[in-house]
Amino acid sequence: MGVKRQLSAKRVVIKVGTSTLVYPDGSINLRAIDQLAFVISAMRHRGREVVLVSSGAIGVGLNYIGLTQRPKAIPEQQAIAAIGQSELISIYKERFAVYEQKIGQLLLTRDIFIYPKSHQNVLNTFEALLAQKIVPIVNENDTVAVDELDHETKFGDNDQLSAVVATNIGADLLIMLSDIDGFYDGNPHADTAANLLAHVPAVTDDTYALAGGSGSRFGTGGMVTKLKAAERMIQADGQMILANGADPTIIFDILAGESVGTLFG
């Protein structure tokens, strides 16, 4: 039996990508959402403080109105995000209620963390929700922010948002669930000899050199954005684990110290 990982996980941020919530054909993965609600509720009931950063608004919105591809125009994407966000939070509320766990929603933009007054206000909101044993569910406010959408800057993404939230609220651990088992020393889709790295103590130029490729057609992330998130967590003396979110109950294995996914830090 392998050596257990030593994790500090009193306050945990879980980031779930669109690929976990939406099937490749665009339909909603209700099973995964239910499992996610179950796991987070169990964590909360065992005394952990948990924040969920959830992608998927546009993917869910596309499904809701029967489209298969993201439109190119920013206003159309924002409209779909508005539709999808309300639908997504309704699904979350329904599934969390089954496990007697209350949730709250925070839609954030990058400038909130830049300006001191709004920065403090949002931190106060997080602390108040966590103190009341409520799970904050966070997403970028795509209806007003264009950073994450198909805009030329392409700065914002929920990988970065999850790390910004985690470091600002003093989270011990960021668990990032994606459609890949972890970080490899090559492209596992093209190189059968690529090895999964169990532990990456520091994110360096060499680490970035190993990364490449974009995300799914419904999402915006890629491996580089995940490495940037990991780097931010390490700089804040936290840890991040990248793991496959196909079965969100993998979080139980992560918290038990099992060697699943890639541990950064």
CATH of the domain at 104: 3.40.1160.10
pLDDT digits (tens, 9 = 90+) for 203-238: 998 888 887 644 443 344 478 889 999 999 999 999
Assess if residue 3 is contained within a domain: no
Assess if residue 192 is contained within a domain: yes
Assess if residue 20 is contained within a domain: yes
**158 marked as part of a ligand binding site:** yes
**237 marked as part of a ligand binding site:** no
Assess if residue 256 is contained within a domain: yes
Quick one: tokens of 239? 């840890």
**20 marked as part of a ligand binding site:** no
**55 marked as part of a ligand binding site:** yes
Confidence (pLDDT) at 121? 96
Assess if residue 162 is contained within a domain: yes
**224 marked as part of a ligand binding site:** yes
Confidence (pLDDT) at 112? 87
Assess if residue 6 is contained within a domain: no
Domain of residue 239 covers 11-264
Residues of the chain with pLDDT under 50: 1, 149-155, 213-221
Name residue 176's beta-bridge partners: 15, 242
Question: How many domains are there within the chain?
Answer: 1
pTM, to two decimals? 0.90
Confidence (pLDDT) at 187? 77
Q: In terms of C-beta distances under 8 Å and separation of at least 24 residues, what long-range contacts does 80-87 make, across chains too?
A: 81/57, 81/142, 81/143, 81/149, 82/142, 82/143, 84/56, 84/57, 84/58, 84/59, 84/60, 85/57, 85/60, 85/61, 85/139, 85/142, 85/143, 87/60, 87/61
**223 marked as part of a ligand binding site:** yes
Confidence (pLDDT) at 155? 37
* Strands 183-184 and 196-197, bridge-based pairing: antiparallel
**15 marked as part of a ligand binding site:** yes
**222 marked as part of a ligand binding site:** yes
Assess if residue 5 is contained within a domain: no
**253 marked as part of a ligand binding site:** no
Confidence (pLDDT) at 72? 87
Confidence (pLDDT) at 146? 61
**226 marked as part of a ligand binding site:** yes
Assess if residue 2 is contained within a domain: no
